[in-house]
Amino acid sequence: MILPFLATLMIKSALSAPSDVSFVVSSTEGAKVKKETSDVQPDFPIIYEMDINSNVSNRFAKTLIHSKVKNPQTTAKEATFSVVLPEKAFISEFVMEIGGKSYKAYVKEKEEAKNIYDKAVSSGQSAAHVSVSARHSNRFTVSINIEPEAKAAFLLTYEELLERKNNQYELILNIHPGQIVKDLNVQVNVKESRPLLFIKTPSLRSGNEINKNEEKIDPSSQIEIINKTSGVVTFHPDAAKQKDFANQLKGKESEGLSGQFVVQYDVERDPHGGEVLLQDGYFVHFFAPKDTETLPKNVFFILDTSGSMSGLKIKQLKDAMISILGEMKPEDTLSIVEFNSQTTVWNVEGQPAVEVIYHNYTDPFPEISKHDLPGPLPATKEVIEKAKNLINGMGASGGTYMIGGLETGLYLVKSQIARAASTNDKKQPIIIFLTDGQPNYGVYSTDEITNIVTRLNKDEINVPIFSLSFGEGADKAFLRKLSLKNMGFSRHIYEAADASLQLQEFYKQISSPLLSNVNFKYNYEVNEVTKTKHPILFGGGELVVVGKYKLPDRLPVPKFDAKVDAIGRRGPIQLLAKVETPVTSLERLWAYLMVKQTLEKRDVTDDKTELTKKALDLALKYSFVTDVSSLVVVKPNATSAVDTEDASKPVRPSWGYGGGYSAQPVGPSWAYGGGYSASSSGGSRSRVAASSYSGAYPRSGGFSPHVSYFAPQRHFALQHHYAPRPTVAYNAMPLYVHHDMVAVPSTIKPKSPPKLEDSLHWLASVISANRTLTLPTGVFEIGESSLNLPTSDKCPKNPQGGEGTCTLIKDCPEVFTLLTDFDTYKQYFCPVQNKFAGVCCPKKKIS
């Protein structure tokens, strides 16, 4: 009998390290089972195989993590599957295989999960905390009970659009099994529409602090170039190599590899208007022109030197600024505004600084204009040296006069633009705004500051504001909103030993503006298009636009013209794009970016109803776990009675992919724990420590629900904090939305004997009861494992590129990792004997 197993899990973007952030989890532990020791087998579940497969096409990556575990003991054990995934990735599928059955998650509107949580809380469950430390990413964690000497498997799929930075795309795969894995395999398949310039695997990374002098750790991966547009990267460290990597990354040898495996690549660039890919009514426009001259820039540094910046922070700020100043070009100009309890504009030439005093924050410019403020100076060698001396002389004291710093910076931009108009010396203005705290002088409300700055930053000013939140005291949500509403973006600088390097890395991304006022235009009938107007394109980066176009009713197909208007170094330009054919479907890429940008708009809009509905509809349609959607997990439950126990003792810490398995015995066939929680993008050695009260109440049929719901608390130590009443934990939930997960009954049939769906999990949702597939050209049998047929006709294109031979799907396992979904399979479908569903298989690899 399958009974509902309820668990609500939350995801929170982790933008706070190294301090630990506390989350609330409600938990009910099962009956204690007498522990039987073994001299041979470990006292926790073993990961005997872990496969990480990532398919990258059209810069869109789809990654599948498949972790297989077994319980070698004669008592039930709890196994935890935990994955650190990129901050911008969406989970799109999760499957657990337990006891010969598959349990596939699905996505629902978040309020449904919240309602289940409320019901569980009202039933009397208590709450506890889980503490994690994290950077720029999310952690997905789920735990299950594994029967004695049984096996289980976890399959998690997530999707992301790779962002081009520093002239390359970078796919980061976090590997943290928490133990040595006998069979650890990573495969990355890259397939692009344009020729590849390079594919490489740099040093393994710890994923935590940046270290310019970090020892290079060669992953010893293999890179196979299939053709000019595709390649395959494999990484297969054996047990000895995993121990070696653990030592080099300064981890525990027994916990194996704990770090990041990275694949970097780039493609040939169109020198003009970029590349437009068209397919089935969807289009994507990639724009990163080469050989474009850099725009000279006016950089306005607005720096917080309040008392909270004292000590290490002010030293790191100085170190970073000295390095950044050294990278400025003589054609650039700079201004430095310092704010604490007052606002000061520094005269880099050595003249006295000017304190800006005014009181009208709604209309500040008339009062500010009464001050004789020094203008920007060219970044010559002499000026840079003087600026470095000025920075070195700064101290930290006083309050945080945030509105004063921002409004003074805007006035300086306005004045410089007016001067440039008369001299025709136009430069791209950029504001870099750094703060570590909350406003406590002048205007206190962050919403009011955002509204005032956004209103002032219009018309002739129109300057991008790039915000840097420094340390845990900074209001990251406020700074993100401020930048999004003012044509920029925000970054968090972690209060760690590498803070100055983080600042330098940020500046590197915005140091080379190529074009301003970039506007994408299409002569075709397009709709549901993402953002087409961008203030700046920076060197080494890329702008991406996706949308839909109307499919023609009849031939011939009208020409799809795309052009880009922008302001370059020598004035206005217009560039024409090149139209090409994508290598895979564009629909999910379109949906991903549409959801991302809709959620961004929602974050900066007062009335969120319409945008929330739009984002939710797309998330539900494409099974994306987002800020407005929940992952619902199906989970089995035993029918025997289960007692409760004192579960206040911490669970064995867990981290990474399927790692950190708890050695604690739990009640038969029902225990569940974990959460979709914050972690480091590197996540290296980030631990999860959990504890809880037991919910001592009987349930009919002997089932006890385990509900996990995370809500940030104001605790920043790696210890356990108990909330005696669940209502307290729930009321502590912040106003912003989280991703939730709920477990409910499964109706999926047991798998026996093994079927093709075990390798191609998407088959389960499209195959009929009589084992056929409905394809555009008809209905075809799948071809079971016992069927042995010769290869059929030649086919023009196989998933690895080039010609192939049509064969049964089961006979071409080398392309399984490339057949990520039904739509992808249909592109390589071919009929075998006009009866069976085949696939175009690479010739050289057919057995």
Is residue 764 exposed (0-12), middle (13-18) or buried (19+ Cβ within 10 Å)?
middle
Given the structure tokens 């939305």, which residue do they identify?
A: 737
- The residue among 348 and 350 whose pLDDT is bigger is 348
Chain centroid offset of residue 736 CA: 18
Given the structure tokens 């901050």, which residue do they identify?
A: 87
CA 771 – CA 769 distance, rounded (Å): 5
**CA nearest neighbour of 461 among 431, 481, 440, 494:** 431
For residue 243, pLDDT beyond 70: yes
Mean pLDDT of 334-343: 96
Question: For 286, what's the count of Cα atoms within 13 Å in the CB-facing half-sphere?
Answer: 29
For residue 263, pLDDT beyond 50: yes
CA 750 – CA 773 distance, rounded (Å): 20
Contact between 520 and 547 (Cβ < 8 Å):
no
pLDDT-derived band at 135 (thresholds 50, 70, 90) equals low
Q: What is the number of residues in the chain?
A: 847
Mean pLDDT of 746-753: 45
What's residue 738's pLDDT? Answer: 34
**141-150, 169-178, 257-266, 379-388: the lowest-pLDDT one:** 141-150
DSSP 341-399: SSEEE--TTSSPPEEE----SSS-HHHHTTS-----EE--HHHHHHHHHHHHT----S-
CA 759 – CA 814 distance, rounded (Å): 11
Name the residue ranges covered by the structural domains of the chain. 42-265+625-744, 268-292+515-568+578-622, 297-511, 756-845
Q: Which amino acid is at 130?
A: V
Contact between 390 and 336 (Cβ < 8 Å):
yes
**CA nearest neighbour of 683 among 172, 217, 336:** 172
Contact between 711 and 677 (Cβ < 8 Å):
no
CA 296 – CA 331 distance, rounded (Å): 6
DSSP 622-661: HT---TTEEEEEE-----S--------SPPPPB-STT---
What's residue 682's pLDDT? Answer: 37
Helix or strand or coil: residue 315?
A: helix
Handedness of CA 385, 390, 395, 401 (dihedral sign): negative
**Which DSSP symbol is given to 524?**
S
564-595: per-residue pLDDT in tens? 999 999 999 999 999 998 989 999 999 999 99
10-39: per-residue pLDDT in tens? 333 333 333 332 222 222 333 334 444 445
Q: Which amino acid is at 609?
A: T
Given the structure tokens 């990374």, which residue do they identify?
A: 205
Q: In sequence order, which residues have a C-beta less than 8 Å from that of residue 777 and are 6 or more positions away?
A: 831
What's residue 500's pLDDT? Answer: 85
793-809: per-residue pLDDT in tens? 889 888 888 889 999 99
Mean pLDDT of 649-669: 35
Q: Which amino acid is at 281?
A: G
Q: In sequence order, which residues have a C-beta less than 8 Å from that of residue 837 and are 6 or more positions away?
A: 773, 775, 780, 781, 782, 783, 808, 809, 829, 831
**Which DSSP symbol is given to 464?**
-
Q: In sequence order, which residues have a C-beta less than 8 Å from that of residue 833 and are 6 or more positions away?
A: 789, 792
Contact between 680 and 208 (Cβ < 8 Å):
yes
pLDDT-derived band at 109 (thresholds 50, 70, 90) equals confident
Element (H, E) at 769: none
What's residue 652's pLDDT? Answer: 40
CA 345 – CA 339 distance, rounded (Å): 9
What's residue 528's pLDDT? Answer: 96
CA 504 – CA 323 distance, rounded (Å): 7
Question: For 337, what's the count of Cα atoms within 13 Å in the CB-facing half-sphere?
Answer: 30
pLDDT-derived band at 817 (thresholds 50, 70, 90) equals confident
Q: Which amino acid is at 371?
A: H
Is residue 249 exposed (0-12), middle (13-18) or buried (19+ Cβ within 10 Å)?
buried
**CA nearest neighbour of 52 among 197, 156, 159:** 156
Q: What angle do CA 562, 566, 569 make, to 5 degrees?
A: 140
For residue 459, pLDDT beyond 90: no
**77-86, 433-442, 696-705: the lowest-pLDDT one:** 696-705
CA 182 – CA 69 distance, rounded (Å): 11
Contact between 178 and 654 (Cβ < 8 Å):
yes
pLDDT-derived band at 844 (thresholds 50, 70, 90) equals low
- Fold of the 297-511 domain: Rossmann fold (3.40.50)
Tokens of 745: 């009954």
CA 129 – CA 491 distance, rounded (Å): 28
**Helix 381-392 with 312-327: angle, nearest 10 deg:** 180
Distances (CA, A) of 280 to 74, 264, 308, 743, 818: 55, 29, 55, 36, 20
**388-397, 477-486, 722-731: the lowest-pLDDT one:** 722-731
365-422: per-residue pLDDT in tens? 999 999 999 999 999 999 999 999 999 999 999 999 999 999 999 999 999 999 888 8
98-107, 461-470, 745-754 — most confident range: 461-470
pLDDT-derived band at 115 (thresholds 50, 70, 90) equals low
What's residue 691's pLDDT? Answer: 28
605-646: per-residue pLDDT in tens? 989 999 999 999 999 999 999 989 888 776 665 322 222 222
Distances (CA, A) of 683 to 185, 448, 730: 19, 36, 27
What's residue 340's pLDDT? Answer: 96
DSSP 693-727: -------GGG----------BS--SSS---BSSHH
**174-183, 413-422, 544-553, 705-714: the lowest-pLDDT one:** 705-714
Mean pLDDT of 160-178: 95
CA 632 – CA 579 distance, rounded (Å): 40
36-61: per-residue pLDDT in tens? 444 567 788 999 999 999 999 999 99
What's residue 182's pLDDT? Answer: 96
**CA nearest neighbour of 596 among 89, 128, 125:** 89
Core vs surface per residue 311-332: b (16+ CB within 10 A) or e: eebbebbbbbbbebbeebeeeb
Q: Name the phi and psi angles at 118, rounded to 5.
A: -60, -40
